[in-house]
A = this chain, B = another copy of it.
Amino acid sequence: MAASTEEVISNKQVLLKDYVTGFPKESDMQLTAATTKLKLPEGSKGVLVKNLYLSCDPYIRNRMTKREPGASFMDSFKPGSPIVGYGVAKVLESGDPKFKQGDFIWGITGWEEYSVITATESLFKIQHTDVPLSYYTGILGMPGMTAYAGFYEVCNPKKGETVFVSAASGAVGQLVGQFAKSLGCYVVGSAGSKEKVDLLKNKFGFDKAFNYKEEPDLDAALKRYFPEGIDIYFENVGGKMLDAVLQNMRLHGRIAVCGMVSQYNLDQAEGCHNLMYLIIKQIRMQGFGVSSYYHLYGKFLEMVLPAIKEGKITYVEDVVEGLESAPAALIGLFAGRNVGKQVVVVSRE
Residue ranges of A at the interface with B (Cβ–Cβ < 8 Å): 62, 71-74, 238, 242, 251, 257-260, 263, 268-289, 292
User: Are B238 and A281 in contact, with the CB atoms below 8 A?
Assistant: no
Main secondary structure of the interface of A (DSSP, over half): loop
- A324 vs chain B, min Cβ distance (A): 31
| CB < 8 Å neighbour of A279 from B270, B278, B287, B292 | B287
| Beta-carbon nearest neighbor of A239 in chain B | B275
User: Are A285 and B281 in contact, with the CB atoms below 8 A?
Assistant: no
- A241 vs chain B, min Cβ distance (A): 12
User: Are A278 and B274 in contact, with the CB atoms below 8 A?
Assistant: no
User: Are A269 and B280 in contact, with the CB atoms below 8 A?
Assistant: no
| Beta-carbon nearest neighbor of A285 in chain B | B285
| CB < 8 Å neighbour of A286 from B74, B251, B278, B289 | B278
User: Are A285 and B282 in contact, with the CB atoms below 8 A?
Assistant: no
| CB < 8 Å neighbour of A283 from B269, B276, B286 | B286
List residues of chain B with CB within 8 A of the CB of A278.
257, 285-287
Give the distance in Å from the alpha carbon of A275 to the alpha carbon of B202 in the complex: 33
User: Are B280 and A273 in contact, with the CB atoms below 8 A?
Assistant: no
Quick one: copies of this chain in the complex?
A: 2
What are some 25 contacts across the A-B interface (CB < 8 A)? A72-B281, A73-B280, A73-B281, A73-B282, A238-B276, A242-B275, A257-B275, A259-B279, A263-B276, A269-B273, A269-B274, A269-B276, A271-B273, A272-B275, A278-B285, A278-B286, A278-B287, A279-B289, A282-B288, A282-B289, A282-B292, A283-B286, A283-B287, A284-B285, A285-B285
Give the distance in Å from the alpha carbon of A319 to the alpha carbon of B284 in the complex: 35
List residues of chain B with CB within 8 A of the CB of A272.
271-273, 275
User: Are B270 and A273 in contact, with the CB atoms below 8 A?
Assistant: yes
List residues of chain B with CB within 8 A of the CB of A273.
268-272
Give the distance in Å from the alpha carbon of A84 to the alpha carbon of B307 in the complex: 55
List residues of chain B with CB within 8 A of the CB of A283.
286-287
- A119 vs chain B, min Cβ distance (A): 18
- A284 vs chain B, min Cβ distance (A): 4
Give the distance in Å from the alpha carbon of A346 to the alpha carbon of B259 in the complex: 52
List residues of chain B with CB within 8 A of the CB of A74.
280
Give the distance in Å from the alpha carbon of A238 to the alpha carbon of B275 in the complex: 9
Give the distance in Å from the alpha carbon of A283 to the alpha carbon of B292 in the complex: 12
- A294 vs chain B, min Cβ distance (A): 14
| Beta-carbon nearest neighbor of A272 in chain B | B272
- A272 vs chain B, min Cβ distance (A): 5
User: Are B279 and A258 in contact, with the CB atoms below 8 A?
Assistant: yes
| Beta-carbon nearest neighbor of A242 in chain B | B275
Listed from nearest, the 9 A-B pairs whose CB atoms lie closest are A271-B271, A278-B287, A279-B287, A72-B280, A284-B286, A272-B272, A257-B278, A285-B285, A269-B273
